[in-house]
Amino acid sequence: MRQRFPNSLLTIALVVSIGMSGGLARAQTPSTPKVQAGEGRPYEVADSEVWDVPDPVSGRGYQVFVALPASYAKQPQRRYPVLYVTDADYAFPIIRQLGRRLNVEGPRIEEFILVGLSYGKGEDGGVSRQRDYTPTQNGPSTAPAGAIHGQSRAYQKYLRDQVKPFITGRYRADPARALFLGHSYGALLGTQILFTEPGLFNGYILGSPSLWYDKRHAFKVEARYAQQNQDLPAKVYLYVGAFEALRKGDRRYNQTVDMVADNRALETTLQSRKYPGLTLKSEVLNDEDHLSVAPRGFTQGLKYLLPAR
């Protein structure tokens, strides 16, 4: 089954890189793209699968989008790391292409099974993510009236009890290498998992996490974890855009919260814990804001968590 994304939501341009070597033109391209259905039909993400994985506790319907690595069918004995990504409507097609693109001229990252975590079926993405990705009911004052927040612990349980068993039961997943990627509210969810159930995933890409949420609630969760634990066994990549710093009057920058300062505070705090099992890298990506930074952060995170062996 192929996941469909309307052209109005996403257009992916596949650019052929042409260079010169010894006076001869050299073109490197990914595998030949599948022919798309015409006559105005929606663009399809080729070689992807969609599965319904509902949450029996909440009764909500969810889907997972799956893309398998190119070698999957050719190496039937091989097991692969699995990357679970939030905000799948946006992140899944981008990361799928990035993962393939990085290896066009030889392996730069290890191949992986990509799993996109959808919003609730039939729900607006904003409604779904502000409920499922936030830790408390104290949403921002800018949220729409009646907005529901604070059910991320329930969603975390859904990931643990439903999604991961579904993927490991159906695909050749390496059980010791489950990775998480989230941006903004998705990364806020990731910090909660990291500081309450870190073993749920082995590696975390946390992009522009909304650490400001509910008076920096995530830092309180981290402090409780540190009081009760001597180690945090995980590999973590933190990123944020330079324009996510607070600089009032300059419209390139954030006008209400300083996400760069928050990211640096989290980095400093984690380094001070001296956890023997924690590997941490944190970057401020220049010339990027909250909306532009994600694809670049995704790329750097993939190279950090999944370097070619």
Question: How much of the chain is helix, strand and coil, in % rounded to 5?
Answer: 35, 25, 45
Q: Which long-range contacts (CB under 8 A, 24 or more apart) does 228-233 make?
A: 230/275, 231/275, 231/276, 231/277, 231/278, 232/194, 232/198, 232/270, 232/273, 232/275, 232/277, 232/278, 233/198, 233/199, 233/202, 233/275, 233/277, 233/278
pLDDT at 265: 98
pTM: 0.89
Edge-to-edge strand ranges of the sheet holding 63-67: 48-52, 63-67, 113-117, 80-85, 173-183, 203-207, 234-241, 278-285
CA 260, CA 273: separation in Å to the nearest integer?
Answer: 20
Phi, psi of 237 (to 5 degrees): -120, 120
Picking from 156, 196, 137, 148, the residue whose alpha carbon sits closest to that of residue 57 is 156
Let me know: does 99 contact 109? Beta carbons within 8 Å: yes
CA 295, CA 239: separation in Å to the nearest integer?
Answer: 11
CA 122, CA 229: separation in Å to the nearest integer?
Answer: 40
Average pLDDT, the chain: 90
Q: What is the CATH code for 3-30+43-305?
A: 3.40.50.1820
Let me know: does 232 contact 196? Beta carbons within 8 Å: no
Cα–Cα distances in angstroms (integers) from residue 40 to residues 7, 36, 45, 136, in the given order: 9, 10, 15, 43
Q: Diameter of the chain by CA atoms?
A: 65
In the chain, which residues have pLDDT < 50? 1-30
DSSP-assigned letters across all residues of 224-243 = HHHHH-S---EEEEEEEEGG
pLDDT at 27: 40
CA 219, CA 198: separation in Å to the nearest integer?
Answer: 15
Question: How is residue 304 written in tokens?
Answer: 């950090």
pLDDT at 150: 97
pLDDT at 7: 41
Q: Which residues contact 238 (CB under 8 A, 6 or more apart)?
A: 206, 207, 209, 263, 266, 267, 280, 281, 282, 283
Strand, coil or helix: what is 220? helix
User: 64-86 as b/e, with b when 16 or more CB fall inside 10 Å?
Assistant: bbbbbbeebeeeeeeebbbbbbb
Phi, psi of 238 (to 5 degrees): -105, 135
pLDDT at 144: 87
What are the pLDDT digits (tens) for 4-26? Answer: 444 433 333 333 333 333 333 33
CA 227, CA 53: separation in Å to the nearest integer?
Answer: 36
CA 69, CA 52: separation in Å to the nearest integer?
Answer: 21
CA 101, CA 29: separation in Å to the nearest integer?
Answer: 9
